[in-house]
Amino acid sequence: MRVSRLATYGLLILAGGLSLGPFLWMLSGSFKTQAELMQPGLGRVIPAAPTTANYARLFSQVPFLTYLVNTAFVASVTALLTTLVSALGGYALAKYRFRGQGAVTTLVLGTMLLPGVVLLAPLFRVTLALGLIDSFWGLVLPGAASGFGVLIMRQYLGAVPDALLDSGRLDGAGEGRIFWSIVLPLVRPILSALVIFTFLGAWNAYLWPMIVLRDESNYLLTVAVTNVVAAIHQQEYGVALGGTLVSIAPIIVLFLALQREFIEGLTLGAVKQ
Amino acid sequence: MLRRLLDWADEFPPGRVPLLLLVLALASGTAVAVRQVRSAPPRFSVWTFVHLAGEEFQQRLAADPAHADVEVRNLGTAMFDRLALAVMTRTELPNLVEIEQSVIGRYLRGPVEHIPFVDLTERLEREGWFERCVPARFARYTVGGRTFGLPHDLHPMVLVYRPDVLAELGYRPEDLATWDDWCAAARRFYRPGALGTRTWRRGMPLSTIEGYTYLALLWQRGGDMFDATGEVTLDSPLAVDTLERYLAMLGGDPPAAGPALSSMIEDFAALSRGQFLGLLAADWMLAVMQKDGRTLLEGRVQIMPLPAWERGGRRTTTVGGTALCIPKDAGPPDRAWEIAKLLYFDHRSLVERFRTQSIVPLLRASWTDPVFDEPAPFFQNQRIGRVLTELADEVPPVHGSPYMAEGYKLLDAVFADVTAGRVTPRAALAGVAAELRARMARDRAAVARARAGSAP
């Protein structure tokens, strides 16, 4: 028993070390001088002469705070809108009977089968035609109707007892009121999980923001780190490592703060009550 | 207080997490709304992916009030995807774009009239640019006899070596006139041992997993993946023989070369420890070496022309390059052409480019500038500019093809098998060539079908 526990912890520590290794290297590298970073081999974990010069250059030469605010806005609005649309769509498919319901469900499922990259050119044309190029709405709106979100919400909302909805109707509540005040509180864990999941996806999105955004002051962190930081500080790896670290720090903090809700949402229904 | 706040948050029907994000959205949205002022789109735009070039372009254009409306955008490597999309949808195109040589091929596919860039051939001929520059460098941007890019760079390749190590071995640079001479010296230099340990020594690093160094050596010998008409020549006897000799360098007894180490900096470190006799480097790599290898190599190395394949043969090859192209659908090309010449052939800019990036210009007139005779302290006060410009006319042509990038990929895919001895050079190159010919035949048939379909 003791041996197996030791083995388990040993494996977990090894896996943890392997996962954290690159992050530690990034953290350590962001405090190293260019000369130390350019030494052969992986280098020391603790910098020989720690410096904050990389961060000073990052914040003095690049409007990082602007990119942070842009990213927070786009990621939070995308997460909220996607979750709302998914909940509404999932609720309709789970609780209402209408002609073509099966076809609509299949169509929603079908959207998940298409690789996103295939849709880039047509999506770009539509976004352009709508005048949404170089606008945050060009990022938010195309992702608002998520096939994955609708289907996952449909699955969870299907478990909400119809009797509860009927009793709401008997009490005179409208459909909107029933959805907002009865249904949503019952599926909070999956709503939280979906909202966090979508937020992380939107925060880390790169390709579409890179295509849609033109004005540098509109850039999100991913695009800024890849293009502005890497372009201005070509081969200055300490600045690039610092930029990457600053760009992922907020979501690490957010995830650590909300991990209970996230795990709850993911494991909901895993164990039969 | 916190407890009451959490209780209040719990009353929000979707829960605390969506509420938290709602607060975040409102706060960040307010900041965005206060800040956002939409600027008018530029009247003339130049795109580049190189930061230093972008800065240099901006400075050059800012000095001339006639170009006050030109916006230079450094888009980093994202530029390539953005350009592809802009060309595909014919929207938001730049008036002028700086393209890397390995990427241009994708735009040169299909009939000449479908190529999305302006044909510069007549302008280049009329204004004498082929004579005023090294003509071989235009080959990369030329298909079907038409040139679609204006290059500025020569990128000759040299050997970087430690003179003290070479002298200790009993050689002078002039003794190493051919690759056979080099291999003899490298074999004397060799010490066995696992790579990375203290005892091993090898002549120079050669890639065992990518074909680019092999191609550079093939170009030096006069071969190429494609010929001037665009036909595949990678399975020619010259190409096969060069690959066999490349393998002989790596696998002889003792070997004259070793596998490239995990990064450029590791190669620099091995050279500084006297574990490589030399390193292959194009002009721009000398700038990287001076920056990233400063602590390892400053004041300890010099450069020399590459050994030739045959005595009296070509003493250099080339790696890399960029060109300015004018997108056809971006508007009248005359102004773009004038700005392209200004950005790429302005004497002061060319001199500055050599000073900061070690890039040797293509324009012959610029080589007389004193900057090319300045001693370089990093290279033991050697006049590296002069060494490089004296190699200018020996820089080999590298022929452009729409299938260039695919050819590189196919070669890379098989290269590790070749160097490991699992496939013979002849079979590997024949396989790559056959695949390229099949793709070309398929595309030509598609074009023929399309033309037949649209015929009256």
What domains are defined for chain A?
Answer: 62-232+239-267 (1.10.3720.10)
- B28-34 average pLDDT score: 89
Do A120 and B85 lie within an 8 Å CB cutoff?
yes
Do B295 and A232 lie within an 8 Å CB cutoff?
no
Contacts B54 to A, Cβ<8 Å: 231
Mutation target to probe the A interface, by most A beta carbons within 10 A, among B2, B6, B16, B17 is B17
**pLDDT grade for A273, boundaries at 50, 70 and 90:** very low
pLDDT tens-place string over residues A70-110: 999 999 999 999 999 999 999 999 999 999 999 999 998 88
SS3 per-residue string spanning chain A: CHHHHHHHHHHHHHHHHHHHHHHHHHHHHHCCCHHHHCCCCCCCCCCCCCCCHHHHHHHHHCCHHHHHHHHHHHHHHHHHHHHHHHHHHHHHHHHCCCCCHHHHHHHHHHHHHCCHHHHHHHHHHHHHHCCCCCCCHHHHHHHHCCHHHHHHHHHHHCCCCHHHHHHHHHCCCCHHHHHHHHHHHHCHHHHHHHHHHHHHHHHHCCHHHHHHCCCHHHCCHHHHHHHHHHHHCCCCHHHHHHHHHHHHHHHHHHHHHHHHHHHHHHHCCCCCC
Residue A208 pLDDT greater than 60, yes or no: yes
Contacts B52 to A, Cβ<8 Å: 234
Percent of chain B's residues with pLDDT above 70: 97
**pLDDT grade for A1, boundaries at 50, 70 and 90:** low
Contacts A223 to B, Cβ<8 Å: 78
What's at B371, amino acid-wise?
V
Mean pLDDT, chain B, rounded, equals 91
Count the residues in chain B.
Answer: 456
Size of interface A-B (CB pairs under 8 A): 122
Residue A271 pLDDT greater than 60, yes or no: no
pLDDT tens-place string over residues B54-78: 788 888 888 888 888 898 888 877 7
Contacts A211 to B, Cβ<8 Å: 81-82, 85
ipTM, interface predicted TM-score of the complex: 0.85
Burial of A242 (0-12, 13-18, 19+ CB in 10 A): buried
In the 8-state DSSP scheme, what is residue B397? P
Say if CB B363 and CB B350 are below 8 A apart. Answer: yes
Report residue B54 as tokens: 């972008």
Mean pLDDT, chain A, rounded, equals 86
| Kind plus residue range of the DSSP H or E element containing B415 | helix B404-419
Residue B456, pLDDT score:
54
Name the closest residue on chain B to residue A182, using Cα atoms: B13
| Phi, psi angle pair for B324, to nearest 5° | -95, 130
Specify the domain boundaries for CATH 3.40.190.10 within chain B. 44-155+320-371, 157-317+403-443
> Out of 3.30.300.30, 3.40.50.980, 3.40.190.10, 3.40.630.10, which CATH number does the structure's domain B44-155+320-371 have?
3.40.190.10
Residue B37, pLDDT score:
62
| Kind plus residue range of the DSSP H or E element containing B48 | strand B44-48
**pLDDT grade for B408, boundaries at 50, 70 and 90:** very high
- A144-159 average pLDDT score: 90
pLDDT tens-place string over residues B166-197: 999 999 999 999 999 999 999 999 998 877 67
**pLDDT grade for B2, boundaries at 50, 70 and 90:** low
Contacts A66 to B, Cβ<8 Å: 35
Q: Which of B24, B38, B91 sits opposite A128 (nearest CB)?
A: B91
Do B81 and A207 lie within an 8 Å CB cutoff?
yes
Residue A272, pLDDT score:
45
Cα separations in angstroms, A244 against A108, A191, A229: 35, 29, 9
CATH architecture classification, B157-317+403-443: 3-Layer(aba) Sandwich (3.40)
Task: Please give the Cα distance from B202 to B190 (Å, whole number).
Answer: 5
Name the closest residue on chain B to residue A236, using Cα atoms: B292
Measured in Å, how far apart are chain A's first and last C-alpha atoms? 30
In the 8-state DSSP scheme, what is residue B331? S
The answer for residues whose C-beta is within 8 angstroms of residue A107's C-beta and 6 or more apart is none
Q: Which of B28, B38, B77 sits opposite A69 (nearest CB)?
A: B28
Contacts B93 to A, Cβ<8 Å: none
Do B17 and A195 lie within an 8 Å CB cutoff?
yes
Name the closest residue on chain B to residue A230, using Cα atoms: B76
| Kind plus residue range of the DSSP H or E element containing B336 | helix B333-345
